[in-house]
Every structure is written in structure tokens, then in C-alpha cells.
Amino acid sequence: MATRARTLNPLRDWQVDRASIRTIGRDLQRPECILAERDGTLWSADARGGVMRIRPDGTQKLIAQRADERFAQASEAEKYILRGTLPNGLAFADNGDILIANFGTNAIERMSRDGKSQTLYSEIDGQPLGKTNFILRDSKHRLWITVTTRLEPWTRSVTERTNDGYVALIDDRGIRIVAD
């Protein structure tokens, strides 16, 4: 049994080759989540309201959503904490679009690779979603999302120790809370 377990673990005896590590991205703003494609292209959430595409050769392009008008009027701190679009968690949709758990808009969104966005979900059980934090698409094409809090402003949840976060599932039956 012990021999079989050893052969099933591909990481056994694996080590990082420090010489092969290099910096690839630059000037990223709040790269909260990152996706990788087979060709080496990386996609990183970016606080400027979209995702940063980083090609294997290091070239970068910000692909931004249309920012909420309030975002332009906000102070620097407000831009990142309280208002506007703030992509957080990312996942690939079946067609290659980017699914976004948007902490700023309190929504689950789909963004095409040219920046066209649409809101997929902003409510659950007739209530606002809250601060969407992460999104995952599983092998059955279901979407799993985490929500940090429903409090507005969300910073209250830090000092009030509110336990109102949850995990939701989106599948052919719709969206529903599965853990809270």
C-alpha cells in the first residue's frame, strides 16, 4: 500500500528550480486572482476595472470593463475599497470569456476578451449578492462562488465580526446558497 501511494504522488521529491523563476508581470494593481492558459498567457484581476492579459513574451494589455461613474469621482482609497468595479475572483467560461466575481459591483459578471461585460447575477433569493469574492467553474460546468459579507459598507464586517458570508452554487437549477 505504501509503495502504491508513493507512485500516485507526482510531487514526491519535486523541488523548485529557483533559476527558472522570473518576473513576468509589472505594474499590476491588486492582482487578486490569476488564470493561466496552455500557451502561457496569464490573466490577472486588476483594480483598474478589468483584467490584465500577460503574454508569454511579457507584453501586457489591460482589458477593462466600463467603470461605474462613481469610481472616477472617488478618492484613491474609495476606488479600491468602497466603490466602482473591482474584479476579484476569475474563472474561464466554457467559451473562453472571463467570469468575474466583482467585489466592487457585488455581482457575478461575464467579460469577453475585448472588455464587453454583462452582469450574470446580482441577487440571490431576492436579496443583493453581497461582496462576491471568488468564482470557480468545476468539471460539471457548475459555478461556485464565495461572498464575504452582505453588509454595506462591507468594512463594517471587519469591526462588527458579522458572520454573513456564504458559498453559493450556480447550475441548471439556478443560484442558491449551499453553505453559510
- Which distant-in-sequence residues (6+ apart) come within 8 Å of 32 by Cβ? 45, 87, 88, 89
- CATH number for region 25-179: 2.120.10.30
Listed as ranges, residues in the chain with pLDDT below 50 are: 68
pLDDT at 72: 57
The predicted model scores a pTM of 0.81
- DSSP class of residue 68 equals P
pLDDT at 31: 92
